Amino acid sequence: MKITAIITALFFSLASFAGIDGSDSEKATTSETNAATCIVKGTVVDELTGDPLAGVTVTMENGMETYTDFEGNFVFCNLKPGAYRIETSLISYENITFNNVRIDSDGTQRLSISLKTLKD
């Protein structure tokens, strides 16, 4: 009985902490909040071989940064619509900068990026 009371109290405290109250009154109603659902995703490969490149640093001008996975994929979520500058960086490869990557209010922008190796 005491354990049930503790579990119930824990549940309600977690729900309170998370802002869950069972009502719909706190749902997002502004267009700005709803608009922050845009996504930029892409794949980075070696230009000569076509092999995916893991560990590529992909940076957005807003300070967001991610790395490609073992299949060369990356993703940025919850972006506001607009134009962004995206940069790539990997040791022994040329850096690439994309200016004005446009994201629509309800869309996903996909990028296919091929990196050249640096000349010795």
Give the separation between CA 112 and CA 16, rounded to whole angstroms.
43
DSSP element (H, E) containing 98: strand 96-103
Q: Are 115 and 55 in contact (CB under 8 A)?
A: no
- Both tokens of 7, joined, read 């579990």
Q: Look at the pTM and tell me if it is higher than 0.75.
A: no
For residue 86, what are the β-bridge partners? Answer: 60, 98
Is 89:64 a contact under the CB 8 Å cutoff? no
Q: What is the mean pLDDT of each run of 10 residues along the chain (120 residues)?
A: 42 40 42 64 96 97 93 94 94 94 85 90
Give the SS3 label for residue 51: coil
Domain regions of the chain by residue span: 31-115
CATH architecture type of domain 31-115: Sandwich (2.60)
